[in-house]
């Protein structure tokens, strides 16, 4: 097969990566530090959204636990990437055995992701056989548990206090490279045998079981893969923001990532990308409006929360009028072909009429 | 330190949590929806009290009634505008919608009022105590217990003696069949949301009474409590919700005295781990119902 | 009274009805016969408004009921007793019946219907205050039918009322259906028990894989070629 034919099935991820690289290059060329910051965060967010897409899009199950694994990845990775001195400086109560641990950046990220994956693997297996409603509720419970642990395990996380002094290893190009790898990984998962089988269970659990697809194992594999990606995202984010608290890994963050995925379209990798781009752009514009209004001092008590209100309204409108999101379960291709059969049902429906 | 004061405190907490859980279960029973925006109804109640008690000369009883009304109307409004259009789509869509509504309400409060905590003027009675059997009992606790008894009685009367109540209970058993008997779906669901709002409003009075202040995020802790209590009680049964509320209060109070200080902060983590265990092994909750029918699929 | 014209319906991606046309006149007792998966229950669900066909039309007493909600269809006087009975287990027998009469607000009518129910189903009078979930299978079936009758339905639809019941109870159920037919209730009956069904009905349709394959009076159908298939699929009788 010649190169063109071999690349053809990879048209979508290549297209998405091209978009990402284009944005990265433009940002680098413009050299505006604020823009670089925004775009770097956007790419890290994209990694998180892609991780969520891997699980939600293929299994059809909503998971609230994703950001919890982001938090585990963040806190674990900094334990390894910070020098012993820096660690002692920020957390005097840190367990002594944790202080001398030190690894370069990339291995730290890997360790962070692996710990998140391990926790996910152990905790989630029994949950995978639960029905839809219970499955979602247990992921919410997981998020709360992780949050409480991060918030109170002072000797590891510094509790509710800010953990500072993390080195800023996440540059624009770091986040871009990880992003590109993630896009390929998530797309390949989707088109792999596991992904196909999982989506069969999403569309019709009984039919899938009758041809021997083990739904529990498939879901579990997707869950831990998505936890790994969340761990990577968390580690990258920690090394960008350089100081954080457990409050960064709870409901607000969950809402933003979920909004990005649902608005873009949870059933395709392109949906994750498009959603992240659109929502990031919208948020920055809205944030600018907020700041402008605050500077003008139109409201004495300050103008806050406008961005979130608009985002929530948009999310609700999408759920009502276009539940499949902007991409409508299609993938981006270059050049654009005619769309194939569109799925009419967005998120699998349990009721008939 | 388990004395009379502790016990009354626990019963008062249990009463509060029972009402809290009821408001959540009444919607879950019919729609299978965990309404993430439920906590925000308490926030609405709180801000109503803040605005009315702080800026108008209205007597406090009127303020309290209006706070409950505000929570109820907000609940009905969210149903009409956000939940009804997605109801036909899927449970996942409804869950995400409820999450979005929660964020919307929270940030609206942030936007319209302030991100900072606001003090709520409370009536004198919430700060006084009375001597019972040698211990000092805050009036607040007594009022909570009395109110919950009244509300539970009213709710039971509604559910057992009125056609609407029968329809609500039937809808929790089998919503489609209820519709096939001619009961309008929208009426039943609106009624459930209204009751949910009323419960939230009443809870908000006593919840705010404990801290005398309100913030945009005040809805999160009670939501989590309601969550755990409903799961303990079996998510679909109203009696279960009440039991769940009391069980939660008992467990959390006991953990408060029994756990060593280092583990005390992890109480909530324990409760949520308990949630997962219940959902895994006894999803119908700790309350065994004689009339529960096995449903397959 | 009821007319289905070329109904096509599906569950998700699975086509269940591929052009079903049936008609029922007032006072008739008509059956839909066929093996599992033939589309009988789907037909009833389409009429009851639980499932919306994507093609075709349903006329009831002259006006179209296609796309109407289950509540609206119930108000028009169509009652469905689903397969599996679907009584409300946590409501008492009385509450189940009370809800059955939801579409009728007249108190005298309610009392009269209740009286008739007690005549037809004496066991329900005995168990009036018991929760529905504590009743036996046969009693629940009686409750389900009684509940449907409480609304004085113009059209009663029964989905496999004898399913899972002991032979003595099966007798009772078929006797009951025959009696209702005699008192001029229009009934659409879905059943797999071909023998007993053909004894009591005016007409029957044979369904297979979403289509009507035959119809006629019991005499005509007993000699129909496809009846054999339905017999063999369900019963092991002495002689076909």
Q: Which residues of chain A have pLDDT under 70?
A: 1-8, 204-206, 212, 335-353
Rounded mean pLDDT of B13-39?
Answer: 92
CB contact under 8 Å between C51 and A352, yes or no, is yes
Task: Say whether pLDDT at B11 is over 70.
Answer: yes
Are A16 and A270 a contacting pair, CB within 8 Å?
A: yes
Element (H, E) at C32: strand C29-33
Task: Say whether pLDDT at C96 is over 60.
Answer: yes
pLDDT at residue number A78 = 92
Best of C13, C69, C70, C72 to disrupt the A interface (most A CBs within 10 Å) is: C13
Rounded mean pLDDT of B107-135?
Answer: 82
* Helix ranges, B32-138 (H): 38-55, 60-78, 84-87, 91-112
In B, minimum Cα distance to C150 occurs at B181
pLDDT at residue number B126 = 78
pTM across the whole model: 0.87
Cα A276 from Cα A258, distance rounded (Å): 10
Structure tokens at B227: 């969550």
pLDDT at residue number A347 = 44
Residues C39-68: tens digit of each pLDDT: 888 889 899 988 888 888 898 888 888 888
Rounded mean pLDDT of C171-187?
Answer: 87
Cα A267 from Cα A346, distance rounded (Å): 8
Are A107 and A80 a contacting pair, CB within 8 Å?
A: yes
Cα A215 from Cα A232, distance rounded (Å): 26
pLDDT at residue number A134 = 80
In the beta sheet, which residues pair with residue C157? C80, C188
Are C131 and C55 a contacting pair, CB within 8 Å?
A: no
Rounded mean pLDDT of B22-46?
Answer: 92
Structure tokens at A208: 């899938």
Residues A203-222: tens digit of each pLDDT: 766 677 777 677 888 889 99
Residue A72 CB neighbours (<10 A): 27
Cα A298 from Cα A306, distance rounded (Å): 14
The CATH number assigned to the domain holding C215 equals 3.40.50.300
Which residues neighbour C152 within 8 Å (Cβ) at sequence distance 6 or greater? C77, C104, C109, C113
Question: Comparing C-alpha atoms, which of C85, C82, C89 is closest to residue C165?
Answer: C85
pLDDT at residue number A325 = 87
For residue C237, the SS3 value is coil
Query: Which pairing describes strands B129-132 and B135-138: parallel, antiparallel, or unpaired?
Result: antiparallel
Query: Is residue C240 in a domain?
Result: yes
Where in the sequence is the domain holding C52, given as residue range(s)?
Answer: 1-77+186-240
Contacts of A203 in chain C (CB under 8 A): 12-13
Task: Read off the DSSP letter of residue B164.
Answer: H
* Domain count for chain C: 1
Most confident among A135-149, B26-40, B70-84 (mean pLDDT): B70-84
Q: Is residue B24 classed exposed, middle or buried when 0-12, 13-18 and 19+ CB atoms within 10 A define those classes?
A: buried
Element (H, E) at C24: strand C14-24
**CA triple B174-C140-B283, angle to 5 deg:** 45
Q: What is the mean pLDDT of chain B?
A: 87
CB contact under 8 Å between B177 and C69, yes or no, is no
Query: Is residue C104 in a domain?
Result: no
Q: Does C11 touch chain A (CB under 8 A)?
A: yes
Give me the total of CB pairs closer than 8 Å, taking one residue from chain A and one from chain B: 141
Q: What are the sequence ranges of the domains in chain A?
A: 10-247
For residue B279, the SS3 value is helix
Cα C237 from Cα C226, distance rounded (Å): 16
Q: How confident is residue C228, by pLDDT bands cut at 50, 70 and 90?
A: low
Residues B200-219: tens digit of each pLDDT: 999 999 999 888 888 888 99
Residue A122 CB neighbours (<10 A): 10
Task: Read off the DSSP letter of residue A96.
Answer: G
Residue C80: half-sphere exposure toward Cβ, Cα within 13 Å: 28
Contacts of A345 in chain C (CB under 8 A): 12
pLDDT at residue number C235 = 42
Phi, psi values for residue C54, rounded to 5°: -95, -5
Contacts of B292 in chain C (CB under 8 A): 89-90, 133
Task: Say whether pLDDT at B16 is over 60.
Answer: yes
Task: Say whether pLDDT at B292 is over 50.
Answer: no
Phi, psi values for residue A108, rounded to 5°: -60, -45
Cα C162 from Cα C191, distance rounded (Å): 8
Cα A256 from Cα A155, distance rounded (Å): 29
Task: Say whether pLDDT at B199 is over 70.
Answer: yes
CB contact under 8 Å between C151 and B181, yes or no, is yes
Give buried/exposed letters for A277-288 (b at 16+ CB in 10 A, else e). Answer: bbbbebbbebee
Question: Comparing C-alpha atoms, which of A353, A22, A341 is closest to residue A179?
Answer: A22
Residue B81 CB neighbours (<10 A): 12
């Amino acid at each position: 097969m010649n190169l063109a034919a071999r690349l053809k099935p990879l048209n979508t991820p290549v297209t998405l990566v091209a978009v990402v690289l284009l944005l990265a290059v433009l940002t680098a060329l413009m050299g505006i530090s604020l823009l670089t910051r925004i775009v770097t965060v956007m790419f890290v967010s994209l990694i998180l959204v892609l991780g969520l897409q891997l699980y939600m899009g293929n299994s059809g199950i909503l998971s609230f636990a994703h950001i919890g694994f982001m938090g585990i990845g963040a806190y674990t990775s900094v334990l390894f990437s910070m020098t012993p001195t820096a660690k002692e400086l920020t957390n005097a109560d840190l367990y002594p055995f944790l202080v001398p641990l030190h690894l370069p950046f990339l291995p730290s990220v890997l360790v962070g992701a692996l710990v998140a994956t391990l926790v996910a693997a152990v905790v989630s297996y029994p949950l995978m056989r639960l029905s839809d409603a219970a499955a979602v509720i247990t992921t919410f419970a997981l998020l709360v548990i992780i949050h409480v642990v991060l918030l109170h395990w002072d000797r590891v996380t510094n509790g509710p206090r800010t953990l500072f002094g993390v080195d800023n290893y996440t540059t624009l190009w770091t986040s871009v490279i990880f992003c590109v790898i993630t896009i390929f990984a998530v797309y390949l998962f989707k088109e792999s045998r596991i992904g196909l089988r999982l989506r069969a269970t999403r569309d019709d659990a009984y039919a899938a079981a009758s041809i021997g697809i083990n739904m529990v194992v498939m879901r579990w594999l997707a869950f831990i893969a998505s936890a790994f990606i969340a761990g990577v995202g968390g580690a990258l984010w920690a090394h960008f923001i350089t100081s954080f608290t457990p409050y960064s890994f709870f409901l607000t963050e969950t809402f933003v990532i979920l909004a990005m995925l649902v608005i873009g379209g949870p059933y395709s990798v392109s949906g994750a990308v498009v959603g992240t781009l659109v929502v990031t752009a919208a948020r920055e514009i809205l944030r600018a409006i907020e700041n402008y209004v605050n500077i003008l001092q139109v409201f004495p008590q300050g103008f806050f929360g406008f961005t979130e209100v608009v985002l929530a309204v948009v999310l609700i409108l999408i759920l009502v009028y276009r539940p499949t999101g902007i991409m409508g379960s299609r993938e981006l291709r270059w050049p654009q072909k005619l769309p194939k059969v569109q799925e009419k049902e967005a998120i699998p429906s349990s009721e008939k009429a | 330190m388990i004395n009379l004061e502790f016990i009354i405190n626990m019963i008062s907490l249990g009463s509060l949590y029972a009402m809290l859980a009821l408001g959540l279960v009444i919607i879950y029973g019919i729609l299978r929806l965990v309404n993430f925006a439920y906590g925000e109804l308490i926030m609405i109640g709180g801000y109503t009290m803040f605005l009315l008690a702080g800026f108008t000369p209205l007597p406090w009883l009127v303020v309290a009634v209006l706070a409950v009304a505000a929570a109820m109307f907000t609940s009905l409004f969210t149903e009409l505008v956000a939940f009804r259009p997605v109801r036909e789509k899927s449970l996942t869509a409804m869950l995400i919608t409820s999450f979005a509504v929660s964020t919307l309400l929270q940030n609206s409060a942030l936007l319209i009022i302030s991100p900072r905590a606001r003090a709520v003027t409370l009536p004198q009675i919430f700060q006084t105590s009375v001597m019972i059997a040698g211990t000092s009992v805050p009036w607040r606790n007594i009022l909570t217990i009395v109110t919950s008894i009244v509300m539970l009685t009213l709710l039971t009367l509604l559910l057992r003696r009125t056609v609407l109540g029968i329809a609500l209970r039937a809808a929790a058993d089998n919503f489609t069949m209820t519709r096939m008997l001619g009961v309008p779906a929208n009426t039943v669901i609106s009624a459930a949301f209204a009751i949910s709002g009323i419960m939230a409003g009443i809870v908000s009075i006593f919840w705010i009474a404990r801290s005398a202040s309100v913030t945009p995020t005040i809805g999160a802790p009670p939501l989590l409590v309601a969550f755990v209590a409903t799961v303990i009680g079996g998510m679909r049964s109203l009696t279960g919700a009440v039991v769940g509320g009391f069980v939660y209060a008992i467990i959390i109070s006991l953990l408060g005295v029994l756990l060593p200080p280092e583990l005390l902060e992890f109480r909530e983590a324990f409760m949520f781990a308990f949630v997962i265990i219940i959902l895994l092994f006894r999803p119908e909750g700790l309350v065994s119902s004689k009339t529960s029918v096995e449903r397959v699929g | 009274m009821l007319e289905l014209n070329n109904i096509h319906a599906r569950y998700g991606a699975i086509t269940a009805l591929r052009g079903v046309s049936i008609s029922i006149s007032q006072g008739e007792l008509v059956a839909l016969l066929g093996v599992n998966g033939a589309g009988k229950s789907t037909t009833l669900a389409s009429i009851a408004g639980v499932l919306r066909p994507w093609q075709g039309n349903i006329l009831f007493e002259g006006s179209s009921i296609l796309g109407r909600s289950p509540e609206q269809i119930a108000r028009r006087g169509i009652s469905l007793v689903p397969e599996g009975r679907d009584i409300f287990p946590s409501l008492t027998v009385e509450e189940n019946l009370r809800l059955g009469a939801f579409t009728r607000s007249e108190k005298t009518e309610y009392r009269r219907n209740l009286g008739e129910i007690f005549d037809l189903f004496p066991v329900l009078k005995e168990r009036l205050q018991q929760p529905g979930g504590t009743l036996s299978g046969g009693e629940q079936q009686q409750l389900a039918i009684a509940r449907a009758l409480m609304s004085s339905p113009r059209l009663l639809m029964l989905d496999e009322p004898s399913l899972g019941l002991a032979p003595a109870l099966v007798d009772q159920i078929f006797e009951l259906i025959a009696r209702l037919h005699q008192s001029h209730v229009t009934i659409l009956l879905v059943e797999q028990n071909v023998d007993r069904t053909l004894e009591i009905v005016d007409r029957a349709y044979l369904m297979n894989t979403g289509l009507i394959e035959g119809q006629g009076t019991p005499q005509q159908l007993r000699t129909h070629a496809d009846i054999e298939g339905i017999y063999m699929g369900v019963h092991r009788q002495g002689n076909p």
